[in-house]
Amino acid sequence: MHRAAVIFEGGEPPQNGLQEIIHSLRHAVTLDTLEKYIRAGLDEVVLATNDPDLSLAAERLGARTRDTRQSCPFHFGRTLQRVVQELGSEGVLYCSGAALPLITQAEIQWILEAMAKSPPCVVVNNLQSVDLVAWNPAEYIQRISPPESDNFLGWLLREAGMERVLIPNSASIHFDLDTPTDFLVLGMSDKAGPRAQAALDAVPWSSDALRRAADVLITDLPEVAVFGRVGTPIIDHCNKYLRVRLRVFSEERGMKALRREEEGRVVSLVADMIEQIGPRQFFRQLESICSAVFFDTRVVFANHGRRVSDWDRYHSDLGMVDMIHDPWVRAFTEAALECRIPVVLGGHSVVSGGLWVLADRAIAARGGPRVSQAKGFAPS
């Protein structure tokens, strides 16, 4: 079977210093990811991008490239359909450049074998909003209405008649890069690729709160609060391998995939509580019962249709209060920083893949089991 990996990475050129840092980090991760798929022995590895410099670097590694600047305006689904049709492959693995930066060779091989076993099938890393999708036969991509983003790709292929196969849970299968906090977690993992690690070493962001919270997970029976789009796999993992007491409030899972955020339909009980008692009182109460907090802030930021820019969200993640324009986000972030316990702010990965990476770090520090083996993958 002819198998191809298709990686999309691109977008608008950076307009400020923060965007430039994230832009360079994503490109470093993309090149490390391309190298992994090239080593996995696929018949073709293709990068679809609008960035000439990234394209040139990918070609030096041995990847083929597709220039997405030909699509104006760019449309994800139509571009993916065209690339897959041009390839003529029987099976295709798709992801974005910053998706699953810690994926192992063993996991890639598992995905490729699962894709080949029982066509027509679609292999995904997540039941809702996916980060990696592999499917066979490849021509099924032409049977779906082309989506504007990759969030719905797994669902659409399943609805086209493919059997869905879920990749076994692991930190690397659930961890992807969307926010500054995610990159800080990658830097703490000790598993970043060489280009990504070099880029991360040059980043001027503080990881103090993240490290303090991560160290709390190593201690015996700490109280840890987890807010946001929290799924059962990460909770099960922590309960199985760590001696922690979790206080979990999960809400608005799938808010992007179901377009609730886009349509202004997000409702957060936690955000309403913060509005009523004020962010300082909210965090004071948290510090009286918890040792650390992991907070997916995108839910509270989107409450009742509030729109918060990437600029404000990312500077909130980094604790750069003076750079935040939105008064509510600024007050919330300031209160989190004043909290006597470490508060980790970020997006979905802070309470999913990122927390999983930190949990595995704590498991290793406590001398626990090698969870990659426990999850059915041979160490790579």
> 62-80 pLDDT, tens per residue?
999 999 987 778 999 999 9
Output the pLDDT for position 373.
Answer: 43
Same domain as 152, residue 236: no
Whether 108 is covered by a domain: the verdict is: yes
Cβ–Cβ under 8 Å, residues 149 and 76 = yes
Q: From CA 342, how far away is CA 379, in angstroms rounded?
A: 33
- Please give the DSSP secondary-structure letter assigned to residue 315: H
Residues 229 and 115 in one domain: no
User: CA-CA distance, 128 to 174, in Å (whole number)?
Assistant: 12
Residue 262 counted as domain residue: yes
Both 141 and 281 in a single domain? no
Tell me the pLDDT tens digit for each residue of 347-359: 999 999 999 999 9
- Are residues 128 and 198 both part of a single domain? no
- Tell me the two tokens of residue 325: 């324009």
Assigned domain for 374 exists: no
pLDDT of residue 370: 61
Q: Taking residues 39-59, what's their average pLDDT?
A: 97
* Domain membership flag for residue 380: no
Phi-psi region of 93 (alpha: psi -120 to 50; beta: other; left: phi over 0): beta
Per cent of the chain over pLDDT 90 is 92
In a domain, 371, yes or no: no
Confidence of residue 129 (pLDDT cuts 50, 70, 90): confident
Q: Which residue spans within the chain are E strands per DSSP?
A: 3-8, 44-49, 64-67, 91-96, 121-124, 132-136, 163-166, 223-228, 245-250, 292-296, 343-346
Position 54 pLDDT exceeds 50:
yes
| Distance from C-alpha of 332 to C-alpha of 167, rounded to nearest angstrom | 37
Mean pLDDT of the chain: 95
Cβ atoms of 121 and 145 within 8 Å: the answer is: no
Task: Tell me: do 130 and 271 sit in the same domain.
Answer: no
| Greater pLDDT, 291 or 379 | 291
How confident is the model at residue 377, as a pLDDT? 53
- What is the domain range of residue 235? 180-365
In DSSP terms, 225 is beta-bridged to 247, 293
Q: Are residues 210 and 279 in the same domain?
A: yes
Q: Which of 30, 42, 5 is nearest to 138 (CA)?
A: 5
pLDDT at 241 over 50: yes
Cα(211)–Cα(301) distance, integer angstroms? 24
3-state secondary structure of 320: coil
- Tally of CB atoms within 10 A around 60: 9
Q: How crowded is residue 123: how many other Cβ atoms within 10 Å of its Cβ? A: 28
Mean pLDDT on 269-283: 98
For residue 317, being part of any structural domain is answered with yes
CATH of the domain at 66: 3.90.550.10
Whether the Cβ atoms of residue 254 and residue 228 lie closer than 8 Å to each other: no
Answer yes or no: are the C-beta atoms of 161 and 140 closer than 8 Å.
yes
Number of domains in the chain: 2
- Assess whether 150 and 194 both reside in one domain: no
Expressed in angstroms, the distance from the first to the final Cα of the chain is 24
Place of tokens 């919270």: 213
The CATH number linked to 272 is 3.40.50
The answer on 332 and 306 residing in a single domain is yes
Residues 187 and 134 in one domain: no
Strands 132-136 and 91-96: antiparallel
Distance CA 130, CA 152 (A): 7
pLDDT at 38 (0 to 100):
98
158 and 245 together in one domain? no
Q: Which of 167, 193, 223 is the last residue of a domain?
A: 167
In which residue are the tokens 């997000």 written? 266
Phi and psi at residue 369, to the nearest 5°: -70, 155
